[in-house]
Amino acid sequence: MTDDEGCDQKAPVPLAPDAVVDACGLACPLPLLKAKQALASIASGQLLEVVADDQGSWRDITSFTEQSAHTLEGREQRSGHYHFWIRKAGGSSL
């Protein structure tokens, strides 16, 4: 599946997240910074959902998970919002 920008788009995760970050209304790089703060506050293996409306977050959060030990379990764009589900890795990999 691809988004409007031609990027691969993972299907949404059917699991309930352990924590949710509402980064709507925040411009780049704040959605990513809020996600990093939330990841620091949850336990390894827990699932974080990040919701943002800044278009740059699609690239920023995806790149962050590719460069970190955290796993991007899913992402989707709907109704002008970007949703990300990030599984926290073991240890301190921020």
Average pLDDT of the residues in 27-34: 97
Write the pLDDT tens digit of every residue in 33-89.
999 999 999 999 999 999 999 999 999 999 999 999 999 999 999 999 999 999 999
Position 9 confidence tier, pLDDT thresholds 50, 70, 90:
low
Q: How far apart are CA 92 and CA 94, in angstroms?
A: 6
- Residue 94 in any domain: the answer is no
The whole-number pLDDT of residue 10 equals: 58
- Residue 1 in any domain: the answer is no
- Residue 61 in any domain: the answer is yes
Q: How far apart are CA 10 and CA 76, in angstroms?
A: 7
- Residue 63 in any domain: the answer is yes
- Residue 71 in any domain: the answer is yes
- Residue 12 in any domain: the answer is no
The whole-number pLDDT of residue 1 equals: 43
The whole-number pLDDT of residue 91 equals: 59
- Residue 80 in any domain: the answer is yes
The total of structural domains in the chain comes to 1
The residue range of the domain holding 73 is 19-87
Residue with tokens 């059917």: 14
Question: According to the per-residue pLDDT averaged within each range, which of 3-7, 46-50, 88-92 is highest?
Answer: 46-50
For position 72, which CATH number holds? 3.30.110.40
Which residues have a catalytic role annotated?
Answer: 28
- Residue 53 in any domain: the answer is yes
